Homo-oligomer: A and B are copies of this chain.
């Protein structure tokens, strides 16, 4: 659909990817998709694809049921867990770690840090704001970023952030281990069809055969016109970038 093109980026079908990479990407995205589907407070997974888009080798897209203005602690934890699911799937299924999860870790860490320092969601740090950027009113002079708190506080924040991410990693690893069948089926479906929509994802999760593909539809003008009204913020979680070690 045209909307997906806008949200997910244009496909780069010309890009040559070898089979090993493709397989790895399929398991990685299958991890995000299965976990995103299973976690109770996560937004539903709307689409998943292993066709390269921009710098990403694959993408899993979730879409909130309705416009959201605030986020709960449960949502944040599930979202961290979902971000870690790609790496976990690769580890469990292929027994290897790759550089492809770097962006997932960045997102998970950033979210956990916001929970601790901005949203008062860590018991240890309490309902305080630990601001790193308050003084950034000067557009061209951000100033030292850690002026507001001591090294000891910085250390406690690090421990809390580490603790939150580690707990979600353990929780989601258990979850994936309990759903290896569905994970395998999802990866298989992705290798077959390259892109799965919500209906197909649900079918895989339910152990149903994949529904037959409809023909590609050219979006009609009426559909395009609707686009303006339908601007729910979708979450392009974990585009899997073509990470190249900077040392090479």
- Chain A positions near chain B (C-beta within 8 angstroms): 16-18, 21, 24, 57, 66-74, 76, 79, 84, 87, 96-102, 104-112, 114, 118-121, 125-132, 135, 138, 140-155, 157-158, 161-162, 165-166, 169, 233, 235, 242-248
Interface centre among A21, A73, A120 (most CB of B within 10 A): A120
Given contacts A98-B73, A158-B152, contact A106 B129 (CB under 8 A): yes
CB closest chain-B residue, reference A76: B245
CA distance A150 to B162 in the complex (A): 12
CA distance A120 to B120 in the complex (A): 26
Interface centre among A98, A107, A152, A247 (most CB of B within 10 A): A247
- Which residues of B are found within 8 Å of A73, using beta-carbon distances? 96-98
Given contacts A98-B70, A118-B105, A242-B69, contact A158 B150 (CB under 8 A): yes
Q: Are B18 and A67 in contact (CB under 8 A)?
A: yes
- Least CB distance from A40 to B in Å reads 13
Q: Are A97 and B119 in contact (CB under 8 A)?
A: yes
